[in-house]
């Protein structure tokens, strides 16, 4: 949409998919702040973002804030959108009839037809329009309705993993051959015994409310699993089954944190941890870890950051996003530090416990001497059992903490999905560690890991640590920062690096700044080997083009991590 008066164009309801690589704007376009006033909030946008309504404009954000009339002084033009998919095939495509209020020509970028809207079926894709939101960019409300939000909610940052996954999905639906390696979910189907248990429950009419904390039979099964596999002895009233491990963690943080308490979070971290602290009106204390230490928190760094306000330490092992696994001896040393601080609790996120490689074993923090009553253990069924859409997790904690979590849940979602709970019973009956079916998934993940480690190790300027668990590679690409790309702009951060790959290579990764480590990007290898091979060919070609720039350091050797032959260690019946 372009205007000649220098005033933003008001769009009818969308959704729309944006193309911000118009040749007429090129680099200048990318050096400006594209924004959309969705819900009266300005949002920075990237190529491929989907919005539902609002004003699109570009200009100097600082100047915009200084101008008393603000919106009148926005510079506009060159933004191209389409409200509906233009054709069934790609490429080429023909443009459908535009909305009467949409003016301006269809843009062509690099010989390809305009990125097209994925139509209304791109359900939650408007989240993508919020992925780059920065605080303090609210536009002046024009409505008479008081639209003030709770400051804690207003301070929340959208999840980039969700946004990028939705963005890649919308682009695929529009016919763009995007390879999505941003999602944190297995590409396998849920094992058939679990599916059959869910179907059986449906057919038997098991569709009513369950007890708030979960069915008795499932909590008994979870207690048995924790005892046999993790060395943790719980009673059923110390288990709360929730709608996913994310809900379990959030409820645990809400249950134990008071305003002003500190939540200690080693970085790189899962994107939601700091936001969970924000919702509890607590303060996130981020401790940077080092790639040379495999991104593991050191006892010395932990001790240096603890204060009388420290309330919770969140540990994730195996780690999202790094794949690091805390060894037993390091956990013992961390436990000594925790024991010296009476107020400090540990939330142990163990959702990836069954996905480990090379003989590495997961250790539950609560099983360490003296740590049972200081630990809130969180787990679930999404990752190892390929049950992400079933939405089922649980917290295991000393009774007074579990009761508090249960109380919160009773006033929010109430009991978890009844069908999923029956399916979870079947998952726990598959054998220790999920049995042979889970072992087969882990073996496939291990092969994919080895493939990606080998390919990235051969790329100049890339540094990585070999992951020991989960299904992510966390790669340092900072050697490529500072490179100017004609028609794209400056690659100066993990965010712009990922936008470059999405724009040029059509591969979606997650920038490391979402995880608190701006020098890295996260690659999910929860994708078929053929997909990973295609993705690496594209990434290789795109990075080779960056290395031709004089700004790329001439001496940027690739990393050469050692990796043992593929040997999944989660396992067996």
SS3 string of 23-82? CCCHHHHHCCCCEECECCECCECCCCCEECCEEEEECCHHHHHHCCCHHHHCECCCCEEE
- Considering the domain architecture, whether residues 240 and 348 belong to the same structural domain is answered as yes
Q: What is the rounded distance in angstroms from the CA atom of residue 161 to the CA atom of residue 52?
A: 20
- Same domain for 401 and 288: yes
Q: Provide the 10 A C-beta neighbour count for residue 41.
A: 18
Domain with residue 244: its CATH number is 3.40.640.10
Number of domains in the chain: 2
Structural domain contains residue 560: no
445 located within any domain: no
Please tell me whether residues 197 and 329 are part of one structural domain.
Answer: yes
Q: Cα separation of 555 and 326, whole Å?
A: 33
Distance CA 504, CA 495 (A): 14
DSSP string, 135-178: TT-BPPP-SSS-----HHHHTPPPPHHHHHHHHHHHHHHTT---
Q: Does residue 558 form part of some domain?
A: no
User: What's the length of the chain?
Assistant: 573
Q: What is the pLDDT, as a whole number, of residue 78?
A: 35
Query: In sequence order, what are the residues at sequence separation of 6 or more whose Cβ sits closer than 8 angstroms to the Cβ of residue 432?
Result: 228, 229, 571, 572, 573
Q: What is the pLDDT of residue 73?
A: 32
How big, in percent rounded to 5, are the helix, strand and coil portions of the chain? 35, 15, 45
Q: What is the pLDDT of residue 255?
A: 98
Determine how many CB atoms are found less than 10 A away from the CB of residue 231.
13
pLDDT of residue 30: 38
Residues 147 and 34 both lie in one domain: yes
Q: Are 32 and 58 in contact (CB under 8 A)?
A: yes
Structure token pair of residue 268? 């790189």
Domain boundary among 433, 450, 484: 433
What's residue 123's pLDDT?
A: 28
pLDDT at 558: 54
Q: Residues 508, 479, 534, CA angle at the centre, nearest 5°?
A: 35
Which is it for strands 345-349 and 375-380: parallel, antiparallel or unpaired? parallel
- Quick one: DSSP state of residue 504? I
Run of H or E including 218:
helix 216-230
Q: For residue 544, what are its two tokens?
A: 């080779």
Is residue 317 domain-shared with residue 382, that is, in the same domain? yes
Q: Distances from the Cα of 144 to the Cαs of 55, 102, 147, 216, 234, in angstroms? A: 19, 27, 9, 51, 54
pLDDT at 160: 76
Q: Give me the pLDDT at residue 183, please.
A: 85
* 355/285 same-domain check: yes
∠ CA 331-336-342, rounded to 5°: 120
Last residue of one domain, picked from the residues 372, 407, 433: 433
The answer as to whether 109 is a domain residue is yes
In a domain, 516, yes or no: no
User: What is d(CA 85, CA 88) in angstroms, rounded to the nearest whole number?
Assistant: 8
Do 100 and 237 fall into the same domain?
no
Q: Are residues 327 and 219 in the same domain?
A: yes
Are 90 and 224 within one domain?
Answer: no
In a domain, 453, yes or no: no
Residues 6+ apart with CB under 8 A from 114: 19, 80, 82, 86, 95, 106, 107, 108
Residue 259 structure tokens = 């305003």
State the residue for tokens 């399916």. 423
Which pLDDT score is estimated for 172?
82
Of 198, 228, 191, 186, the residue nearest 436 (C-alpha): 191
Question: For residues 421 and 391, is the Cβ–Cβ distance under 8 A?
Answer: no
Q: Assess if residue 66 is contained within a domain.
A: yes
For 87, 189, 286, 390, 394, the CA distances from 419, given in Å and listed in that order, are 39, 17, 38, 9, 15
Decide if 87 is inside a domain. Answer: yes
Residues 274 and 319 in one domain: yes
Domain of 115, in residue numbers: 9-158
9-11/54-57 β-pairing: antiparallel
403 in the same domain as 299: yes
Does pTM top 0.85 for this prediction? no
Same domain, 131 and 197: no
Rounded Cα distance between 268 and 296, Å, is 9
DSSP state of 517: -
Give the pLDDT confidence score for residue 549 in this predicted structure.
Answer: 85
Residue where a domain stops, chosen among 413, 433, 453: 433
Burial of 205 (0-12, 13-18, 19+ CB in 10 A): exposed
Phi/psi at 490 (nearest 5 deg)? -90, 130
What is the pLDDT tens value at each position of the chain, 573 positions in all?
333 333 344 444 444 444 443 333 333 333 333 444 333 344 444 544 444 333 344 343 344 344 444 333 333 333 334 333 322 222 333 333 333 333 333 332 322 222 333 222 232 233 333 333 433 444 444 558 888 888 888 888 877 777 777 777 888 888 889 999 998 899 999 999 999 999 999 999 999 999 999 999 999 999 999 999 999 999 999 999 999 999 999 999 999 999 999 999 999 999 999 999 999 999 999 999 999 999 999 999 999 999 999 999 999 999 999 999 999 999 999 999 999 999 999 999 999 999 999 999 999 999 999 999 999 999 999 999 999 999 999 999 999 999 999 999 999 999 999 999 999 999 999 999 999 999 999 999 999 999 999 999 999 999 999 999 999 999 999 999 999 998 888 999 999 999 999 989 999 999 999 999 999 999 999 999 999 999 999 999 999 999 988 888 865 555 555 455 565 443 332
Nearest to 9 by CA among 97, 68, 74, 98: 74
């Amino acid at each position: 949409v372009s205007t000649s008066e220098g005033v933003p164009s008001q769009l009818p309801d969308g959704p729309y998919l944006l193309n911000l690589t118009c040749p007429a704007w090129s680099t200048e376009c990318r050096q400006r702040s594209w924004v959309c006033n969705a819900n009266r909030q300005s949002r920075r946008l990237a190529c491929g973002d989907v919005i539902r309504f609002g004003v699109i404009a570009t200009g100097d954000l600082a100047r915009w804030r200084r101008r008393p009339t603000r919106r009148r002084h926005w510079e506009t033009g060159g933004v191209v959108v389409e409200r509906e998919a233009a054709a069934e095939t790609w490429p080429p495509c023909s443009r459908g009839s535009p909305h009467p209020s949409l003016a301006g020509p269809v843009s062509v970028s690099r010989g390809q037809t305009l990125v097209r809207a994925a139509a209304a079926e791109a359900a939650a894709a408007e989240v993508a329009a919020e992925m780059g939101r920065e605080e303090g960019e609210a536009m002046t409300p024009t409505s008479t309705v008081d639209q003030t939000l709770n400051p804690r909610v207003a301070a929340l940052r959208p999840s980039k993993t969700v946004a990028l996954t939705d963005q890649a999905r919308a682009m695929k639906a529009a016919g763009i051959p995007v390879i999505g390696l941003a999602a944190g979910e297995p590409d396998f189907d849920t094992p058939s015994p679990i599916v059959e248990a869910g179907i059986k429950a449906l057919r038997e009419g098991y569709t009513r409310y369950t007890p708030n904390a979960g069915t008795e039979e499932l909590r008994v099964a979870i207690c048995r699993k924790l005892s046999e596999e993790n060395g943790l002895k719980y009673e059923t009233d110390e288990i709360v089954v929730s709608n996913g491990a994310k809900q379990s963690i959030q409820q645990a943080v809400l249950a134990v944190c008071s305003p002003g308490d500190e939540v200690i979070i080693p970085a790189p971290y899962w994107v939601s941890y700091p936001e969970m602290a924000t919702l509890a009106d607590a303060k996130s204390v981020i401790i940077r870890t080092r790639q040379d230490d495999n991104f593991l928190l050191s006892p010395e760094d932990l001790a240096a950051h603890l204060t009388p306000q420290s309330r919770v330490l969140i540990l994730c092992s195996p780690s999202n996003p790094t794949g690091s696994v805390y060894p037993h001896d390091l956990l013992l040393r961390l436990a000594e530090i925790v024991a010296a601080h009476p107020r400090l609790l540990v939330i142990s996120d163990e959702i990836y416990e069954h996905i480990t490689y090379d003989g590495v074993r997961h250790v539950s923090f609560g099983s360490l001497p003296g740590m049972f009553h200081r630990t809130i253990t969180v787990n679930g069924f999404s990752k190892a059992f390929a049950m992400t859409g079933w939405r089922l997790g649980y917290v295991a904690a000393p009774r007074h903490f579990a009761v508090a979590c249960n109380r919160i849940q009773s006033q929010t979602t109430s009991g978890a999905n009844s069908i999923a709970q029956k399916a979870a019973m079947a998952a726990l009956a598959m054998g220790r560690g999920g049995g042979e079916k889970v072992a087969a998934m882990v073996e496939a993940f291990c092969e994919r890991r080895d493939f990606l480690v080998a390919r990235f190790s051969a790329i100049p300027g890339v540094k990585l640590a070999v992951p020991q668990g989960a299904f992510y590679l966390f790669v340092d690409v900072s050697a490529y920062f500072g490179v100017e790309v004609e028609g794209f702009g400056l690659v100066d951060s993990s965010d712009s690096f990922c936008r470059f790959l999405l724009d040029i290579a059509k591969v979606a990764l997650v920038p490391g700044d979402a995880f608190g480590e701006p020098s890295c990007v996260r690659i999910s290898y929860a994708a078929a080997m053929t997909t990973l091979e295609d993705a690496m060919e594209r990434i290789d070609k795109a990075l080779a083009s960056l290395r031709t720039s004089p700004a790329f350091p001439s001496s940027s050797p690739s990393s050469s991590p050692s990796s043992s032959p593929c040997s999944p260690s989660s396992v067996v019946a």
